[in-house]
Amino acid sequence: MNIMTRETLPPEAAAGAWITALGEALERQDAAAAARLFLPEGHWRDILAFDWTITTVSGAPAVEARLRARLPATRPGGLRLAPGRTAPRQVERVGRGVIECFLAFETAVGTAEGVARLVPDEGGPGGVRAWILATALQGLRGHEDLSLRQQASEKDYSRDFGGPNWADKRAAARAYADRDPAVLVIGCGQAGLGIAARLGALGVDTLVIDREARVGDNWRRRYHSLTLHNEVHVNHLPYMPFPPTWPVFIPKDMLANWFEAYVEAMELNVWTSTELAAGRWDEAAGRWQVTLRQADGGERVMRPRHLVFAAGVSGIPIMPELPGLAEFRGTVLHSGAYTDGAAWKGQPAIVLGTGNSGHDVAQDLYASGAQVSMIQRSPTHIVSVQEAQRVYATYAEGLPTGDCDLLATALSYPELKRAYQMMTAISKEMDRPLLERLAARGFRLSDGIEGCGFQMLYLQRGGGYYFNVGCSDLIAEGEIGLVQWEEVERFVPDGLRLKDGRVIPAALLVMATGYRNQQEVVRRALGDAIADRIGPVWGFDAGGELRNMWRETPQPGLWFTAGSLAQCRIYSHYLALQIKAREVGLVE
């Protein structure tokens, strides 16, 4: 792939010429000149560098308007190729040949970085213009991340003989006997631990609570065979990459145990067996008043300035009302409560739902010796687990994880959608033999929302797809039964009656029916007024950003983080910077 033309310089020279021109325009506060360096249909995604939010604009006029509004306060300067980052290079992105380069600059409040994807254009400096520019705040001046500390301080050399040692200080920090945290994080999975680690590195006092008895139980207590569906190099937590000896796909218990080790190594303050019982926002004080309830019945009232919900994309299981279910004499479980199929050996079981959890539970039951049938309620996107890795292809290019993380932020919604459509079309062709076998069995297939496959289903609905690790083959071979919801009449005491009069026996019904939106989790904990004020959480807003995620919500002091390990690692950085900025008075 070669994007060079007679007018285009080699990648480093072309990128350097474009960056120099942009830097000069920004320092002159010349929004029009800067916008002329973009293609007419170019995109600019900014994460906190020019404003305290996450915003994408498309089209050169929109770029110019936003720059004109933000340049006076941002005062960007010193734009340059980012030292220590991957050098400018020719790559293909969304089917388009580009010169991709990393850049760095300063703003009024700190340091920033970015990615430019440049394409040939004879009118641009170096023979290129910007198709996509992404900019992101990297750090706050005077409030740098402790991970960037280069040498020991005088405090590090001191010894307090006869005084409290490290273990004593850690115990006191965790106890919160004489203080309240600045930030209370609800949830101790990858989202909660990631934001706690980021805040800790910025010196923000943070407490994480979780209703489970042990750190990692949110993974450990899930079904016995669970293994991550994306590769290990995508999934590192902030500051502590997984050991290079780890398997490509991480087993749940391995990950759970790492979470425990992570808490200790990163000195995170965690209270297990603790849940948020109630809370209200004190407008006058600018704080929350929350009641924490512990498993032993004890309660503690705290007044943090920030609440971060980190309980996953969703948290309240959906248990739909089904015709005749009250008459069913078997066991009914939500997939979130399913752990092991051994108890159902030799017995008939039904799984309602054909997303990832439904397939995995069905396959686990089958492997345990149960006779399994699945009920499909709506078309489902199926992709082999190997093909699913296409969406993480950047992480397989050999670049440092930090460079890949920044690249992952650098697509606008329209181009993100187009990228997913292209990858879905390729994966569909590669998986065609399996998909044809499934269709022949009566399994209803979907290409996802607007043909965007599993990733857009995840980002908009949190489900509706399956990464095939064998269950699709079992369905295609008839080893696992398949029933369409339209065929169902009602549940009866000993199973499921179909409209044609047949009864499918069942001793177990597993509802793999998903979870309610995080807005409903807030409603349960903080009441209707706050839940209605923030609106839905997750899914895309009109600007092509995930609603209420990793940025200020309509409710002061309330934040959300969720998603895959990679999303939590990447965006915890930006969420922590926003909270720190408020703690030190940069944002009111």
pLDDT at 3: 57
Write down the residue that tokens 């200790």 correspond to: 264
Task: Calculate helix-pair angle for 565-583, 190-201, nearest 10 degrees.
Answer: 40
Which residue spans of the chain are classified as CATH 3.10.450.50? 11-140
Structure tokens at 211: 């209703």
- Phi then psi dihedrals of residue 560, to 5 deg: -135, 145
Please give the Cα distance from 140 to 115 (Å, whole number): 19
User: What is the assigned CATH class of domain 322-513?
Assistant: alpha beta
Structure tokens at 575: 């969420």
Q: For residue 84, how many other CB atoms are within 10 A of its CB?
A: 9
Please give the Cα distance from 51 to 53 (Å, whole number): 6
| Residue-by-residue DSSP string for 4-32 | --TTPPPHHHHHHHHHHHHHHHHHTT-HH
Q: Is the Cβ–Cβ distance between 57 and 63 less than 8 Å?
A: yes
pLDDT at 311: 86
pLDDT at 224: 84
Please give the Cα distance from 518 to 423 (Å, whole number): 29
State the Rg of the chain over Cα. 26
pLDDT at 259: 98
Q: For residue 391, how many other CB atoms are within 10 A of its CB?
A: 21
Could you name the CATH architecture of 168-315+517-583?
3-Layer(bba) Sandwich (3.50)
pLDDT at 2: 54
Burial class of residue 103 (count of CB atoms within 10 Å of its CB; 0-12, 13-18, 19+): buried
Print pLDDT tens along the chain (588 aa): 555 555 568 999 999 999 999 999 999 999 999 999 999 999 999 999 999 999 999 999 999 999 999 999 999 999 999 999 999 999 999 999 999 999 999 999 999 999 999 999 999 999 999 999 999 999 999 999 988 766 666 676 677 788 899 999 999 999 999 999 999 999 999 999 999 999 999 999 999 999 999 999 999 988 888 899 899 999 999 999 999 999 999 999 999 999 999 999 999 999 999 999 999 999 999 999 999 999 999 999 999 999 999 987 657 899 999 999 999 999 999 998 999 899 999 999 999 999 999 999 999 999 999 999 999 999 999 999 999 999 899 999 999 999 999 999 999 999 999 999 999 999 999 999 999 999 999 999 999 999 999 999 999 988 999 999 999 999 999 999 999 999 999 999 999 999 999 999 999 999 999 988 899 999 999 999 999 999 999 999 999 999 999 999 999 999 999 999 999 999 999 999 999 999 999 998
Structure tokens at 125: 């400096």
**C-alpha distances in angstroms, 408 versus 350, 403, 574?**
39, 9, 14
Number of helices followed by number of strands (H, E) in the chain:
18, 27
Structure tokens at 332: 């009914």
Q: Is the Cβ–Cβ distance between 19 and 101 less than 8 Å?
A: yes
pLDDT at 162: 81
Burial class of residue 559 (count of CB atoms within 10 Å of its CB; 0-12, 13-18, 19+): buried
Please give the Cα distance from 242 to 248 (Å, whole number): 11
Please give the Cα distance from 311 to 220 (Å, whole number): 15
Please give the Cα distance from 364 to 480 (Å, whole number): 11
Which residue spans of the chain are classified as CATH 3.50.50.60? 168-315+517-583, 322-513
DSSP one-letter code for 493: T
Please give the Cα distance from 471 to 277 (Å, whole number): 40
Burial class of residue 105 (count of CB atoms within 10 Å of its CB; 0-12, 13-18, 19+): buried
Q: Is the Cβ–Cβ distance between 586 and 109 less than 8 Å?
A: yes
Q: Which amino acid is at 286?
A: G
User: For 210-283, where are the E strands, in sequence order?
Assistant: 269-271, 274-282
| Residue-by-residue DSSP string for 449-482 | GGG-HHHHHHHHHS-SEEEESSHHHHHHTTSSEE
Please give the Cα distance from 390 to 282 (Å, whole number): 47
Pick the CATH number of 11-140 from 3.40.50.300, 3.90.1150.10, 3.30.365.10, 3.10.450.50: 3.10.450.50
